C-alpha cells in the first residue's frame, strides 16, 4: 500500500483546519460520543492522531483521561509532541504503520478508539479486519468513533460532494484568513478527492459498507452521527455503554 508522504503532512499541518470541513464541530461531536462519564479515568487511542488537535480536546475535556496517539508521519508526530507537551505523562505518542495491524496487539483495556481522516487509506478488507481487531481490545461499553472520507455511490453524488467540499473550504478560507488564499491552495494541491481521486493512496469505502462491517463485527449502536461534504462521523460500541 502506498502511504501518505511528508510533503502532504507539511501541507496538512498548515492547512488541515481549513481543508477539513468544520473541524471544531467534529471535535465537539466526538467528545459527546465518547462512552464515559466526564470525571472517570479511561484510556483513549487516536489512530492517525496527526498534529494532536483531537487528543488535545479530549485531554482538556476529560481531566482523568490518558491517551495514546499513533501516526506514521514524523512531521505530524513532531507537531503533536509540541501541542500535547503540557499534558505530560497523560499522553504517549507512537509511530506506527496503519496497514500492518501489529500495533493493535500492543493495546488493551481501551475505552475508546478515535480516528480522523486516516482509515480511508486502507482497502476495504483491511478496514473490515481492523474493525474486528479493535473490538477485541475494547473494554465492555467501549467505542470506536471514526471521522473519514466516504466513497460516493453514484456520479451525481460525487459531483455534489465535490462542490460541497469546495464550498466548505472556500467559506473557511474567508473565515480564517479573510481571503481565498487557503481555498486557492486547496485547489492547486488538488486536495478534493471527489474532484481529483487518488486511488493509489486513498481508498475510501461507502458508508453503508462500513456500517455493515461494524455490525458484522458485533458492535452495537452502529450509526452515522454527522455528515458534511463527503466527511462522516460514524461508529459503534461494544456492549452497553455507561450512559445506558
The pLDDT, as a whole number, for residue 84 is 97
The pLDDT, as a whole number, for residue 101 is 83
CA dihedral 63, 64, 70, 74 (to 10 degrees): 50
- Please give the model's pTM, rounded to 2 decimal places: 0.94
Residue 170 has pLDDT above 60, yes or no: yes
Cell 496487539 appears where?
A: 105
* Per-residue 3-state assignment (H helix, E strand, C coil) for the chain: CCCCCHHHHHHHHHHHHHHCCCHHHHHHHHHHHCCCCCCCCEEEEEECCCCCHHHHHHHHHCCCEEEEEEECCHHHHHHHHHHHHHHHHHEEEEECCHHHCHHHHHCCCEEEEEEECCHHHCCHHHHHHHHHHHHHHEEEEEEEEEEEECCCCCHHHHHHHHHHHHHHHHHHHHHHHCCCHHHHHHHHCCCCCCCCCCCCCCCCCCHHHHHHHHHHCCCEEEEEEEEECCEEEEEEECCCCCCC
The pLDDT, as a whole number, for residue 241 is 65
- Please, are residues 80 and 55 in contact by the beta-carbon 8 Å criterion? yes
- Distance from C-alpha of 183 to C-alpha of 194, rounded to nearest angstrom: 15
Q: What is the CB neighbour count within 10 angstroms for residue 77?
A: 22
Q: Which CATH superfamily is domain 6-150+197-237 in?
A: Vaccinia Virus protein VP39 (3.40.50.150)
For 5, 97, 110, 136, 154, the CA distances from 143, given in Å and listed in that order, are: 30, 22, 9, 11, 30
- Distance from C-alpha of 3 to C-alpha of 21, rounded to nearest angstrom: 23
- Distance from C-alpha of 234 to C-alpha of 227, rounded to nearest angstrom: 9
Residue ranges of domains in the chain: 6-150+197-237
- Distance from C-alpha of 209 to C-alpha of 215, rounded to nearest angstrom: 10
Q: In this prediction, what percent of the chain has a pLDDT beyond 90?
A: 86
pLDDT single digits (tens) 111-159: 999 999 999 999 999 999 999 999 999 999 999 999 999 999 999 999 9
Q: Give the distance from CA 1 to its chain's centroid.
A: 19
Range 193-206 average pLDDT = 92
Residue 160 has pLDDT above 80, yes or no: yes
Amino acid at each position: 500500500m502506498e502511504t501518505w508522504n511528508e510533503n502532504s503532512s507539511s501541507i496538512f499541518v498548515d492547512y488541515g483546519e481549513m481543508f477539513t470541513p468544520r473541524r471544531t464541530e467534529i471535535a465537539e461531536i466526538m467528545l459527546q460520543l465518547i462512552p464515559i462519564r466526564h470525571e472517570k479515568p479511561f484510556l483513549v487511542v487516536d489512530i492517525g492522531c496527526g498534529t494532536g488537535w483531537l487528543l488535545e480536546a479530549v485531554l482538556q475535556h476529560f481531566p482523568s483521561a490518558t491517551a495514546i496517539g499513533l501516526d506514521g508521519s514524523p512531521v505530524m508526530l513532531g507537531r503533536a509532541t509540541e501541542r500535547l507537551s503540557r499534558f505530560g505523562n497523560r499522553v504517549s505518542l507512537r509511530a506506527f504503520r496503519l496497514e500492518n495491524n501489529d500495533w493493535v496487539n500492543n493495546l488493551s483495556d481501551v475505552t475508546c478508539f478515535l480516528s480522523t481522516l486516516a482509515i480511508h487509506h486502507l482497502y476495504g478488507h483491511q478496514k473490515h479486519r481492523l474493525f474486528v481487531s479493535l473490538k477485541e481490545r475494547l473494554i465492555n461499553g467501549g467505542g470506536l468513533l471514526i471521522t473519514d472520507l466516504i466513497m460516493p455511490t453514484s456520479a451525481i453524488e460525487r459531483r455534489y460532494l465535490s462542490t460541497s467540499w469546495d464550498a466548505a473550504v472556500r467559506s473557511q478560507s474567508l473565515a480564517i484568513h479573510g481571503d481565498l488564499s487557503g481555498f486557492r491552495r486547496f485547489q492547486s494541491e488538488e486536495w478534493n478527492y471527489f474532484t481529483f481521486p487518488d486511488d493509489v493512496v486513498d481508498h475510501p469505502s461507502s458508508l453503508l459498507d462500513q456500517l455493515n462491517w461494524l455490525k458484522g463485527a458485533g458492535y452495537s449502536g452502529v450509526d452515522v452521527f454527522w455528515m458534511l461534504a463527503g466527511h462522516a462521523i460514524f461508529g459503534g460500541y461494544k456492549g452497553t455503554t455507561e450512559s445506558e
